């Protein structure tokens, strides 16, 4: 039994070529801060500053930092006051867990400072330490005892103060 041929409406032109991936629309990624709702993410209020970069058919992969949602949304239409999105994929978690980001612990190190170390009055003085941002090279604290430097590093890192 042969299936009937599908009719293509007269006003519709079938494609004459295919577009390679990446030429039809742009795809963006955004990690949304904790507490921002999916409804807010799907509004011009959220994208207002970057709206000029977005074009209809562009796709945004948005992941909530607090783990409450993970979505792909497509911009369908936009004007100066409204952006309309279509939800392509949605994962909403009932009991969300925050995203575990790469630890910042390696960014902040305790290093020998050289300040105050050496021989003074015939006795060896204890070495002093500094807390350094290894990305920027900035010394955050200097001239500390080892235990003080370790405590300062933990204070700066907060919950990311795991050992590296």
Give the pLDDT of residue 41: 92
pLDDT digits (tens, 9 = 90+) for 55-71: 999 999 999 888 888 99
Angstrom distance (rounded) from CA 154 to CA 95: 29
What average pLDDT is seen over the chain?
Answer: 79
Average pLDDT for 17-42: 84
**DSSP secondary structure string for all residues of 85-140:** EEEEEEEE-SS-----PPPSGGGEEEEE--TT-EEETTEEEPP-EEEEETTT--EE
Q: Model confidence over 61-109: pLDDT tens digits?
A: 999 888 888 999 999 999 988 999 999 999 876 666 665 555 566 678 8
Give the domains, in start order, of the chain with CATH numbers. 27-92 (2.40.240.20), 105-158 (no CATH)
The pTM score is 0.50
Highest averaged pLDDT of the listed ranges 13-22, 78-87, 128-137: 78-87
pLDDT > 70 in the chain, percent: 75
* Token digits of residue 4: 């009937």
């Amino acid at each position: 039994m042969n299936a009937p041929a599908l009719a293509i409406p007269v006003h519709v032109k079938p494609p004459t070529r295919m577009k390679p991936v990446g030429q039809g629309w742009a795809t963006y990624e955004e990690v949304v801060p904790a507490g921002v709702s999916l409804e807010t993410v799907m509004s011009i209020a959220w994208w207002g500053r970057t709206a000029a970069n977005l074009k209809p058919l562009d796709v945004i992969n948005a992941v909530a930092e607090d783990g409450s949602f993970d979505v792909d949304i497509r911009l369908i239409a936009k004007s100066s006051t409204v952006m309309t999105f279509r939800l392509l994929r949605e994962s909403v978690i009932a009991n969300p867990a925050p995203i575990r980001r790469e630890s910042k612990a390696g960014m902040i190190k305790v290093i020998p400072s050289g300040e105050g170390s050496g021989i003074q009055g015939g006795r060896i003085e204890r070495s002093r330490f500094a807390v350094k941002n290894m990305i920027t090279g900035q010394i955050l604290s200097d001239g500390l005892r080892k235990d003080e430097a370790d405590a300062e590093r933990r204070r700066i890192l907060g919950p990311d103060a795991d050992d590296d």
